[in-house]
Amino acid sequence: MSRPSVFGSPLFLGFDHLEQMLDRVAKNADGYPPYNIEQVGDSQLRITLAVAGFAMDDLQITQEDNQLVIRGRQKDDADGRVFLHRGIAARQFQRAFVLAEGIDVEGARLDNGLLHVELRRPLPEVRVKSIPITGSARGPASIGPVGGRGNGMVKPIVEGRANQGGQF
């Protein structure tokens, strides 16, 4: 049985990639290692992971398309040691974060068992685009530049209706 698509509506055109990202996030639901995401400036973010017991050589950070992937693999150094109790496991992990388009990974540092990954989020630019409406060239109902002045402004002509008191 397949689950219904969140973006199955015909009103969501071209959002297939969002559904794939949601699936990736759901697969990454393991709680290890714990992490924080904090905003440290207007356009800066920091991801902090608790990676106690991991050395720099045990950690790997990659950016794969729009995913930040952090992997940790500890070497098993139990050679010749006899444990009476072993409560600290040499555990591996993979934690993935889906990044919005344009977010840059600036760097990472390991400090007292905490891995800090610095991100920069660009400030959004406002984009407004007017879409001209054109009609067929079949008579007076066609839409085109007003007065033949090619200034890009278009005015719809409604056929068979008179403007009565400012309303159509």
Phi, psi of 47 (to 5 degrees): -105, 125
Q: What percent of the chain has pLDDT over 90?
A: 38
For each of the domains in the chain, give its residue range(s) and CATH number, in order of start. Answer: 33-120 (2.60.40.790)
Query: pLDDT class for 109, splitting at 50, 70, 90?
Result: very high
Q: What is the pTM of this model?
A: 0.60
Q: How many CB atoms lie within 10 A of CB 74?
A: 18
Q: What is the structure's pLDDT at 119?
A: 96
Question: Helix-strand-coil percent breakdown of the chain, rounded to 5?
Answer: 10, 30, 60
At a CB cut-off of 8 Å and minimum separation 6, what does 155 contact?
143, 146
Stretch 68-91: mean pLDDT = 83
- The DSSP code for 124 is P
